[in-house]
Structure 1
Amino acid sequence: MTENPLKIVDISTVNQSTADELLDAATTQGFLFVEGHGFSQEEVDTVFQLSKEFFQLDNEYKNKYPIDSSNHGYANFGGENLDPQNQKQGDPKEALNFTSLNFLTGKSSKEIPDWLLQDPERERIITDTIQRMYQLSIRILKLLAIGLKIEDTESVKGEDWFLSRYDPSKDSGSTFRFLHYPGQKSLNPESVIRAGAHTDYGSVTLLFQQENQEGLEIYSSGGKRWIPVPFVGADRSKSTTAGPPVVVNIGDLLSYWTGGILKSTIHRVKFPAKVQETGQDRYSIVFFSHPNDDALLEPVPSKLVQTIQNRGANSESNYITAKQHLDNRLAATYGWKK
């Protein structure tokens, strides 16, 4: 059993104590687990089953919905390269992305595979999960704002500073994603990286993973080594029905907004030796939370942030928008022309 290197924070209560605990993990590791997220084990299992059934469909069908420049659609094996500077080939995984999301309805304004719409229950699972993962990211952002002691302004309370840039009906780069990494047996555990080393592009990322499908690793800049993140089950002494803790990591935008106080940590997915031996596939459910496209990447009005000189937004006078940042990152990932 791999020892868990990450803190586990219960966010069922929004208060200063929870905020301080969350901020400590976000500033030191950039990764943590959160419990008290409201998803039951049954609900998590249902979403994973739906994802698995989609990826079992014929490739000819899935390829009818190719990923586009808005990051929406199906990405086939090798179509995405998260570490283009060090990898010549794309990552050995497939994904289905839902973007252009309205969080009041949980629906995308773009075309999604009709297989998901043929059964009302499939569509309900998708829209309900999208809305709830969005709300979970909002709760985390509020706690981080409290932890950072963001100051009130004329237009918004400090604890709502991030939320004011998250209008649920406006366009954003937020993405809900199904991921499938087929198992691969290999003599060399380092021979194939499932997802190349990268940081995430948005504000905060939420990840559900399953037992015996490990592979996530975070890079320790201090120790100059990769640290595996194990599966952590729910604490049954607190709840007999709760789903497992969600993996949360800080993305580039929160790091940039805060001059690097919040840590966007490099991570990857690889084939652990145990998984290579069994040939086990890996599935994950991910929500990448982004602010509205027009949100400016300006310094957060916090005294903690103001002490940081010449880093992130504190080093700029002409601020770009969240969409401009995302477009730059996606162009590098998929080889698109900007």
Structure 2
Amino acid sequence: MTQTDSNPLQIVDITTVNQETADQLFGAARTQGFLFLEGHEFTQEEIDSVFDLSKQFFELPHSYKTKYSIDSSNHGYADFGGENLDPTGQKKGDPKEALNMCLLNFLTGLSEKEIPDWFAEDPKRLEIIISTIKKFYALSMKILRLLAIGLKIEDTDETKGEDWFASKYAADKESGSTFRFLHYPGQKSLSPESVIRAGAHTDYGSVTLLFQQENQEGLEIYSPVEKKWQAVPFVPANTDKFPGMGPPIVVNIGDLLSYWTAGLLKSTIHRVKFPAKVQETGQDRYSIVFFSHPNDEALLEPVPSEFVKSIEGRGANKDSEVITAKQHLDSRLAATYGWKK
């Protein structure tokens, strides 16, 4: 596990699933809520191909993209200004566009809903989508198993402790999990007066996985440790240790997992704010994101871990009524998009 002055986040190698790795991951999740993961098994070639696909999609005519506009299931194309991640602090929506693929079946790697037919026109495009979604799901399951080991979740009659989270993320059941392409036009080309490109927010789900590119920085976290905004840099791949692999992936804990663990795991506030260098060059920013959510019917009941049981009056330990993962997500989406619950 490494950390430097220029990088506020710990870098954890998850190649091996054991107690040591779990403790490192758990430690970062409960202090910073954000970390870098290496040993994720995404090759540089795979990452480059999905970024290229994303850029090509966003270059399509606006009239075509809006035919697949986002709906109340959070699926579809979100136009510029359509999403406001900081509704209490911002009057205008964020100057960015996105494509969400929701209602994912991780056995097929596809959404149960319609996606732009442009992807199916070329089998290679569709295969990139399928492969990336399946690998994100597999990585999220590995992370959840490591967190369960770090939390020392107890075995129950139904499942082993290390599988407690994973058992609520069945591959073929409906969930709020979302695969997302994001495009932030350069500072000079869209809303140049707006320094913030994505408002300060926390993520809704359990775990978020993010790839960003070199020279397209902008992600900042409000550090729970330092109590100030800190820029998250691009960290290059460790090619000596992981030949052919892509750079470390950014991972953060979301509200749902924080609520589930009574606040033990930190859902850290973050935003996208173009640094001065990127503002001057007008460089666009693209990112690839996967939001992992439990199955819709999963109950957010207290986690059977001594770490969690010792916390009183917070999250799932506080509420007398157990809510489902879908109820939690619906509430957050309504605030972001202005939808009625």
TM-score normalised per structure 1: 0.97
1:54-133 to 2 correspondence within 5 Å?
A: 54-133=57-136
Find the aligned partners of 2:171 and 2:320 in 1 and give their Cα distance: 28
Find the aligned partners of 2:139 and 2:34 in 1 and give their Cα distance: 16
Look up the match of 1:156.
159
Q: Report the 3-state secondary structure (helix = DSSP H, G, I; strand = E; otherwise coil) of the residue aligned with 1:253.
A: helix
**Does residue 1:277 correspond to 2:280, yes or no?**
yes
- Of all paired residues, the percent bearing the same amino acid is 75
Distance change >3 Å, CA 16–CA 319, structure 1 → 2: same
CA contact (8 A) 2:32 2:225 kept: no
Look up the match of 2:257.
254
Offset, 1:221: 4.0
- Aligned CA RMSD, in angstroms, stands at 1.5
Offset, 1:293: 0.2
**Does residue 1:5 correspond to 2:8, yes or no?**
yes
Which residues of structure 2 form unaligned runs of 5+? Answer: none
Matched AA of 1:228: A
Distance change >3 Å, CA 298–CA 264, structure 1 → 2: same
**Does residue 1:220 correspond to 2:223, yes or no?**
yes
* 2:239 aligns with one of 219, 236, 241: 236
Find the aligned partners of 1:191 and 1:107 in 2 and give their Cα distance: 35
Find the aligned partners of 1:88 and 1:127 in 2 and give their Cα distance: 37
**Does residue 1:207 correspond to 2:207, yes or no?**
no
CA contact (8 A) 2:31 2:225 kept: no
**Does residue 1:139 correspond to 2:142, yes or no?**
yes
Offset, 1:191: 4.0
Q: Report the 3-state secondary structure (helix = DSSP H, G, I; strand = E; otherwise coil) of the residue aligned with 2:68.
A: coil
* 1:268 aligns with one of 265, 268, 271: 271
Look up the match of 1:28.
31
Find the aligned partners of 1:310 and 1:134 in 2 and give their Cα distance: 32
**Stretch moving more, 236-245 or 79-88:** 236-245
Offset, 1:43: 0.7
Find the aligned partners of 1:84 and 1:33 in 2 and give their Cα distance: 28
Find the aligned partners of 2:57 and 2:107 in 1 and give their Cα distance: 25
Which residues of structure 1 form unaligned runs of 5+? Answer: none
**Does residue 1:286 correspond to 2:279, yes or no?**
no
Matched AA of 1:169: D
Find the aligned partners of 1:208 and 1:102 in 2 and give their Cα distance: 22
**Stretch moving more, 115-124 or 217-226:** 217-226
Offset, 1:325: 0.6
Distance change >3 Å, CA 140–CA 221, structure 1 → 2: closer
Find the aligned partners of 2:152 and 2:193 in 1 and give their Cα distance: 42
Find the aligned partners of 2:209 and 2:225 in 1 and give their Cα distance: 24
Offset, 1:190: 8.6
Find the aligned partners of 2:136 and 2:218 in 1 and give their Cα distance: 22
CA contact (8 A) 1:190 1:270 kept: no
CA contact (8 A) 2:34 2:268 kept: yes
Number of residue pairs matched by the alignment: 337
Matched AA of 2:127: R
Find the aligned partners of 1:320 and 1:61 in 2 and give their Cα distance: 38
CA contact (8 A) 2:206 2:294 kept: yes
Find the aligned partners of 1:303 and 1:147 in 2 and give their Cα distance: 11
**Does residue 1:303 correspond to 2:341, yes or no?**
no
* 2:334 aligns with one of 300, 310, 331: 331
- Runs of 4+, deviation exceeding 6 Å: none
Find the aligned partners of 1:301 and 1:221 in 2 and give their Cα distance: 25
Distance change >3 Å, CA 2–CA 335, structure 1 → 2: farther
Find the aligned partners of 1:219 and 1:276 in 2 and give their Cα distance: 21
